[in-house]
Structure 1
Amino acid sequence: MVSACAYSGAYPTGYGRYGKNTEGVPEEMFDRLQASGFTHFQQSGTGAIRKYYNYIRVTPMVQQLDVLGESWPLRDEVAQPGYYAATLDTGVRCEITVGEKVAVHRYTFPEHSNARVVIDLSCGGLGIELGRTVPLRAHAESLGGGRAQGTVVMEGVPLSVAMELSSPKWRQMLWYDRRLIDGGTRLDFDSIRHTTLRPFGMLFIGPTSAGQTVEIRLGFSLRGCEQARRNLEDECGTNGHAFDTVRSATRARWREHLGRVQVDGGTPARRTVFATALYHSLIKPCFADDESPFWPNSGPFAFDVCTMWDIYKTQLPLLTALAPDRARDLLESLIRVCEEEGNFPIGYRMARGADRFFRQASALAHTVLADVHGLALPGLDLDWNWALVHMVDDLRRMYGEDFWEHGVVHPISHTLDLAYAHYCTAQVARALNDVHLADDLERRSRQWTNAFDPGTGLLRDSEFYEGGKWNYSFRLLHDMAGRIALGGGDDAFVANLDRFFGYGADPVVQPGRRPQPPEMAAGYALQRFEGLNNEPDMEAPWAYHYAGRPDRTAEIVHSALTWQFGTGPGGLPGNDDSGGLSSWYVWASLGLFPVAGQNLFLINAPAFARGSLKVSGGEFVVETSGHRGAPIGADGVEFDPPAQYVQSATLNGEPLDATHISAADVHRGGRLHLQLGPEPSAWGRRVRPPSASMLESR
């Protein structure tokens, strides 16, 4: 539930140096890494949103309170799963760790007669235009003995915090507008506007010797200060210092989760990127069990689903494979959101309102629900009859109403979303023996054809969200055989894909700082693959599989893994988007790609000689023969080998001529062996992945 990091106010997470940017190289807000304190609840790699949490700022100070909010340079940073440390230019060494519902800060002060730990309850959002989040209401209370508590209502959500300081003899006071309230023990604000907001919070103050550490423990809850206090005691105990205990427990949990995937071979840099990508893949969504502020009963509450559009293709299949208990909890939470708010969310934050991201896509929860239902794994069971009720109702909301009446909607990509959601819902309905409903949904799912222009083999002209019709035209639909036939057959489909990916085309110059509109317009007019910097392009390389050209997939995926990801600045080719992009890297490196909603995995040459996943049924291993090791250059440094191609395959010792396996094959555990070679082969050209029209014709 909790995250914590240094806070500068920069875009997009509150950490760093950059301002808001959607085109070209970002502008710097600051010329240095700096922080005004340390905040809680950050997003993970999302973009194009002006404010994300950063609530409850904690600042260690050796200055007067009137400079609170100023920033100091950061140096000697350390970042590990569950741990962050840095030294402020004031000489204070700062360390932070988090548990499930707590954060523990440890500050090592220089010698000072009046060291301070200041908590700013009014902080929220980012330091960019329209980026501030202002509490609607607030309460703060000093309890004495190093204890305090407070609640701020942010975007309709009450966030409560209970605090304890390891130096109970320090003086503690409330403050308002950077002025101490001597003797005051309560602050209450019934309504706050942007124009009336003045900073407020609490302060602990006392003497320190050189190297003395002070620990502040914070427990959080969305259900009031009493529950925040219980959460604090449950994880930190009542016997003083808890930093090392919480850090050790969190590190062990991360180690256990990250240990569920192992790889052998590859360069050191590629192994570093892989491990980092796996970590990023498991940061979000946030789970706050028994903490929903919107419904009173216990159970899972998931937020920071930001957004389904980002994560439903890659991250949620990975979550289902590696942490199926959390996948189930997420679905239970989404179903409850649908009950409470009237629709499945496209994105869901720690804020009121589930449908604020509706422009991105329609009816995406249906995909992951169908995936999980089709697996029928122990521990993944839900009340599927109740889930089906909400799946069907949600299909008719918003754009779904026009789709129901006309079979096509604009933006045209929503036609594909809704047709696919009807297909996914039909699979659940048929499994539950509601044959009439399943037949009707399947009939409507065939209306994906209304989105395409048979003359071009591409989507019809329309508006598109963060892309164009070329980006969206190669989605992996439920009827790819029909899609390819509609576009003129294999050769025409491959020709369009080749054009999109730039085969035989001149190199493209990337825009720099402050790109002018003509420069951007010229780039968009190319209708080219921009790289894996956004969701519509994530699955496009695997569309070649359906036209019998897995060799093309191998070339594009290898190029992306080699040239678009790295260990330094710019090591991600776009926003990580809550782990969606990093999950793509994990799957692609293992030689697998999930076709979300169809319980299907496509196979490609992996980046490592061997990879394994701990899944519900045991272990699924992807092993290779003929995998080229990393060549060593004249300077002694390993570098990535050229692309390789699958020559033949076996699954659990049996020959595999197809380029796909079922998701059940992966989740039950087994062994996929791939023979690799330096040239394309005949493997995978004849047997195509399944399509709805192929299955219906049988």
Structure 2
Amino acid sequence: MTTAALTAVLLAGVGGTPAPALVAAARQRTAISDPARYVNPFVGTRQGAVDYGNGGGAGNTFPGAGAPLGMVQWSPDTVTYQHGGYLYDDQRIRGFSLTHISGAGCGDYGNIPFLPILGDTPVGHETFSHDHESAAPGSYTVTFDNGLRTELTATQHSGIARFTYPAGQTASLTVDAGRAFNHADGTLTIGTDSISGYTDSGGFCGTGNRYRIYFTARFDHPFIRAGIVHDGRLDTGRRSATGGSEGIAPQPPRTAAAQALPDGHRTPRQAPHPDAPDTGSGAQALVSFDTGSGAPVTARVGISFTSAEGARANLDAEQAAGPGLDRVRDTTRAAWNDMLGRIAVAGGTTKQLRTFYTALYHAFLHPSVLSDVDGRYPGFDGTVHSTAPGRAQYADFSGWDVYRSQVQLIALLAPGKASDIAQSILNQGAQAGYFDRWTLADGGTAVMTGDPLPMIAAAVHAFGATDFDAAGLLKLALAGRGDSRERPGHAAYDSLGYLPVNTPGEWGTVASTLEYTSADFALAQLAGRLGDTADHDALLRRSAGWRNLFNPAGGYLQPRDAEHGWPDFRPTQRDGYTEGDGSQYTWMVPFNHRGLFDAMGGDRAVVTRLDGFFEQLNAGPDSAHAYLGNEPSLNTPWTYDYAGRPDRTADVVRRAVTTLFGDTPDGEAGNDDLGEMSSWAVWGSIGLYPQVPGRAELVLASPLFPRITITRGTGAAIDISAPGASEQVRYVHALRVDGAPSGRPWVGAELAARGGTMEYRLAADPDPAWGRDPRDAPPSFDVGPAHPVTGEVTGAGGKCLDVRRGTAAAVPARLRDCDGTDAQRWTPAGDGTLRALGRCLDGYRSGTADGTPVSLRDCDGTGAQQWWPRPDGSLYNPSAGRCLDLPGGRTADGTGLQLWDCNGEAWQRWRTPR
């Protein structure tokens, strides 16, 4: 294969054709040469913060070779295990396995390790020094203490290794088809100069997922000695074997089922960071080569999740013409430079450049290509499928994590591949019959909470990655809302508007409710873009369910029982939440901060509360402070923008980017979660963030770099200038967007769609005025009318809803003759409430049963004060699940109103102001 052809193969995996070259234009463009030189793949391989028990205090990345979004990630695995396979502090390598996941909080993959050795006796590991080790995007090199040198690089579906053995030594190598990070079984066959076979493994986070990987390895030297390792000894009379091994990866409980078990019964329980055994699996080959000429041994390896033929075809397609390792390495680096260069930055320190481009690199390791070069891939239904020509099927979706900002980054920079990712999600769901939350290879795991995969598709669609069956995905996602596999507790959620405590199948009922409301909001936005008004409106109203968990007594989103009662609560409790607590999850209403902030007492109260929250940036999951080493806190620094304090967003984001991320092995404060944490660092460094699920507006902090150009691969580009930007110079004093002055701490979706310019004036001190006007706040999205109208609410007999006379705490709502007084002037407000005399109509302070009286009370942001007009004219209170009703249809003056089962009768029909 020619270099040009190989480049095309690699680029097809990251965005179709190469991005247009950055050329001089009317506006200043930033370009960068070889951004790969700033990437340190070792970042995230050493603990960088306290291990709070949610996957470790390191990034859990791997330093080995892979192409962007590639199937093969050929990387070293140390004897002491860390998720990702490599612990920087252990200088013992037990093998170079072909597959990895970057940054997960559980272990999987690590399949089919290769280990070059000296002599003809198998060993469990070799030692090395970091002084003799290097890594770069697409390549890895190490020289063992015994002088044996290994060089690795990879394409989308294959890898190539070069082993240079010291002169005068017996040159050998082991390959183990029955070893992975988890329990594995495998089979292999040895030829004259090849080894092939397959491995079966799985068990991510202790779940039951399984996958099979086929491989074929061809060597440029024939074997002079070969056999199967059995009980630590080489049996040269055997050329094939089947065997297995136990896993070494600790599997913390990350599913609702595992969390429901009492402590001490959550299996499997393994010691943290166990050392890998030195013995093979029984499916381990040992081969030796004649290297008397001094020539190194080259191995080319293809893999496939589909078939043995697929592994051979993948290898033939990408390396049949035999490009040498150096050429493959350079071509893969060029593919990385194409992707990394789509955000070109200028200025900044070397450390900042290294931190930034390393984060961008980690953000584009996953999801991983699953389909072969011919488009065939194993489906979630156990059968083989084929993609459309020119398309790819992707796997490895860390859904709970990456829906927040990683997939939006992919969609911004590679919308073609983001469309394939969305279609892959639809394919998974169609084949399985539902959308799983965390998928690996060709199966689901049910790990974590919520309903994130439809959100991923909605997000990339918002950013212009629309080349997939969006209508089909929406249809399947709507069906999945009623599937217990996809949404445990859906019946309670749909009837009560929240998940009550002790909902079966759920881990953290508050967390899951908030995940469901975000998913419903994102799906509403997708439905709206597709012209589906009915589903848009219904889903948007479901997204208001967070109000049902807001307790105005304390101002937190907290657990609630099925009778609408409030169990005992502490803001730092973890019960009811997922890898976080009440203090951290209360901010997780990213689509309606305005509604949340009003319920909390307004912007001033919110800013004071946020200031205390960010006194610590990474305090752990049971703290009153932020936990930016994990996902539930990631949106929170940007919420200041909605409260009129963008200077605080700029400050917190800059502090987080420069203190929680770095350019050394300990440069991540929490597991990277397949690129989510790294994507956050990228967004934070450019001063933009996709805060709202399913939409493409971007809220602002400030750029870390003086000049930035973002190239989308579509011809659109965003040029950002911020003279003097630095770690200290972080506060916005003025902004021009496309040449026009702007006081808004956000930009509309058109910037991502069409490109444009942003010109900042920054300073080291905050500006007391910029971005403070409430009219300039980023948009929040609620369920009421965008332009409220005030007037009478009339019911049966043409009489009016009236709230005259009553106590200061509550005024009974009654039916009276219309008289035009303020007690009968109602405003259906934008937040879904019905207001009069500056207060809100309240549904169930006395309960939710039929006959519960309705009254006027202080507005508190809860679901009890939501009133949604329905097509039949009724007013529906979603939290109670009942309608505004006249007892017995009586229309006499002074008749008190009540909640009652919706029945379509005339006395439940109301005419609201229009």
TM class by shorter-chain length?
Answer: 0.7 to 0.9
In the aligned structure 2, how far is the partner of 1:202 from the partner of 1:546?
61
Q: TM-score, structure 1 length as denominator? A: 0.86
Give the counterpart letter for 1:46 in structure 2: A
Aligned equivalent of 2:195: 148
The secondary structure found in structure 2 opposite 1:697 is: coil
The answer to whether 1:13 aligns with 2:83 is yes
The answer to whether 1:254 aligns with 2:336 is yes
Give the counterpart letter for 1:609 in structure 2: P
Aligned equivalent of 1:164: 218
> How far apart are 1:417 and its partner, in Å?
1.4
Deviations 1:404-431 (A, max 9, x none): 1221115202111111221222222233
In the aligned structure 2, how far is the partner of 1:168 from the partner of 1:399?
60
In the aligned structure 2, how far is the partner of 1:148 from the partner of 1:37?
16
Q: 1:10 to 1:334 in 2, by over 3 A?
A: farther
The answer to whether 1:403 aligns with 2:493 is yes
Q: 1:643 to 1:113 in 2, by over 3 A?
A: closer
For the aligned residues, what is the CA RMSD? 2.5
Moved more, 440-449 or 164-173: 164-173
In the aligned structure 1, how far is the partner of 2:77 from the partner of 2:320?
28
Aligned equivalent of 2:7: none
**Residues 38, 58 of structure 1: 8 Å contact kept:** yes
Aligned equivalent of 2:116: 60
Q: 1:231 to 1:664 in 2, by over 3 A?
A: same
Q: Where do residues 329-344 of structure 1 align in structure 2 (5 Å cutoff)?
A: 329-344=420-435
In the aligned structure 2, how far is the partner of 1:599 from the partner of 1:473?
23
The answer to whether 1:133 aligns with 2:171 is no
Q: 1:57 to 1:374 in 2, by over 3 A?
A: closer
Deviations 1:51-106 (A, max 9, x none): 321111111111333x4323423441110011000111222011111111111111
The answer to whether 1:303 aligns with 2:361 is no
**Residues 458, 522 of structure 2: 8 Å contact kept:** yes
In the aligned structure 1, how far is the partner of 2:630 from the partner of 2:479?
29
The answer to whether 1:568 aligns with 2:664 is yes
The answer to whether 1:366 aligns with 2:413 is no
Aligned-residue sequence identity (percent) comes to 30
The secondary structure found in structure 2 opposite 1:253 is: helix
Question: Which of 674, 685, 696 matches 2:772?
Answer: 685
**Residues 35, 74 of structure 1: 8 Å contact kept:** no
In the aligned structure 1, how far is the partner of 2:623 from the partner of 2:439?
34
Question: Which of 71, 81, 101 matches 1:43?
Answer: 101
Moved more, 651-660 or 195-204: 195-204
Q: Where do residues 282-431 of structure 1 align in structure 2 (5 Å cutoff)?
A: 282-289=364-371, 290-294=375-379, 295-299=383-387, 300-305=392-397, 307-350=398-441, 352=443, 354-357=444-447, 360-375=448-463, 377=464, 380-397=466-483, 398-409=488-499, 410=501, 411-431=509-529
**Residues 264, 610 of structure 1: 8 Å contact kept:** yes
Aligned equivalent of 2:786: 697
The answer to whether 1:99 aligns with 2:151 is no
Q: 1:157 to 1:533 in 2, by over 3 A?
A: same
Deviations 1:553-574 (A, max 9, x none): 1111121122222223422122
Q: 1:93 to 1:552 in 2, by over 3 A?
A: same
In the aligned structure 1, how far is the partner of 2:586 from the partner of 2:125?
49
Question: Which of 678, 685, 690 matches 1:582?
Answer: 678
Deviations 1:93-148 (A, max 9, x none): 111111111111111101235321211111110xxxxxx3222xx3322232x022
**Residues 429, 435 of structure 1: 8 Å contact kept:** yes
Deviations 1:181-236 (A, max 9, x none): 434333356x9888999432323213323853111111101122111111111111
Q: 1:524 to 1:383 in 2, by over 3 A?
A: closer
In the aligned structure 2, how far is the partner of 1:73 from the partner of 1:122?
25
> How far apart are 1:168 and its partner, in Å?
2.1
**Residues 554, 643 of structure 1: 8 Å contact kept:** no
The answer to whether 1:202 aligns with 2:285 is yes
Aligned equivalent of 1:475: 588
Q: 1:574 to 1:656 in 2, by over 3 A?
A: same
Aligned equivalent of 1:182: 236
Q: 1:213 to 1:193 in 2, by over 3 A?
A: closer
Give the counterpart letter for 2:641 in structure 1: H
Structure with more of its chain in helix, by fraction: 1
Give the counterpart letter for 1:292 in structure 2: Y
Q: 1:623 to 1:291 in 2, by over 3 A?
A: same
In the aligned structure 1, how far is the partner of 2:526 from the partner of 2:458?
6
Q: 1:210 to 1:167 in 2, by over 3 A?
A: closer
In the aligned structure 2, how far is the partner of 1:431 from the partner of 1:536?
27
Q: Which runs of 5+ in 1 are unaligned?
A: 19-30, 126-131, 511-522, 630-639
Aligned equivalent of 1:458: 556
Aligned equivalent of 1:594: 690
Size of the aligned set, in residue pairs, is: 637
Aligned equivalent of 1:635: none
In the aligned structure 2, how far is the partner of 1:428 from the partner of 1:210?
63
In the aligned structure 2, how far is the partner of 1:72 from the partner of 1:500?
45
Q: TM-score, structure 2 length as denominator? A: 0.66
Aligned equivalent of 1:552: 648
Give the counterpart letter for 1:61 in structure 2: I
> How far apart are 1:434 and its partner, in Å?
3.1
Q: Where do residues 106-121 of structure 1 align in structure 2 (5 Å cutoff)?
A: 106-112=162-168, 114-121=170-177
The secondary structure found in structure 1 opposite 2:385 is: coil
Select the structure of larger CA radius of gyration.
2
Aligned equivalent of 1:520: none
**Residues 160, 301 of structure 2: 8 Å contact kept:** yes
The secondary structure found in structure 1 opposite 2:675 is: helix
In the aligned structure 2, how far is the partner of 1:302 from the partner of 1:607?
33
Deviations 1:21-63 (A, max 9, x none): xxxxxxxxxx64110221121121222x1x3211111111113
The answer to whether 1:70 aligns with 2:140 is no
The secondary structure found in structure 2 opposite 1:255 is: helix
In the aligned structure 1, how far is the partner of 2:461 from the partner of 2:663?
38
Give the counterpart letter for 2:232 in structure 1: R
Q: 1:599 to 1:508 in 2, by over 3 A?
A: closer
**Residues 458, 469 of structure 1: 8 Å contact kept:** yes
> How far apart are 1:602 and its partner, in Å?
0.5
Deviations 1:374-414 (A, max 9, x none): 34x3x632222211111112222323332112211152021
Give the counterpart letter for 1:12 in structure 2: Q
In the aligned structure 1, how far is the partner of 2:311 from the partner of 2:119?
30
**Residues 734, 762 of structure 2: 8 Å contact kept:** yes
Moved more, 171-180 or 559-568: 171-180
Q: 1:442 to 1:610 in 2, by over 3 A?
A: same
Give the counterpart letter for 1:647 in structure 2: H
**Residues 78, 90 of structure 2: 8 Å contact kept:** no
Give the counterpart letter for 1:537 in structure 2: S
Q: Which runs of 5+ in 2 are unaligned?
A: 1-70, 203-209, 248-276, 502-508, 560-574, 788-914
Q: 1:174 to 1:259 in 2, by over 3 A?
A: same
Question: Which of 607, 617, 621 matches 1:494?
Answer: 607
> How far apart are 1:14 and its partner, in Å?
5.1
Deviations 1:262-302 (A, max 9, x none): 11111121111111111111111111233522242212332
Q: 1:541 to 1:287 in 2, by over 3 A?
A: same
Q: Where do residues 199-278 of structure 1 align in structure 2 (5 Å cutoff)?
A: 199-209=282-292, 211-239=294-322, 242-278=324-360
Give the counterpart letter for 1:89 in structure 2: D
Question: Which of 436, 442, 453 matches 2:534?
Answer: 436
Give the counterpart letter for 2:492 in structure 1: D
**Residues 189, 197 of structure 2: 8 Å contact kept:** yes
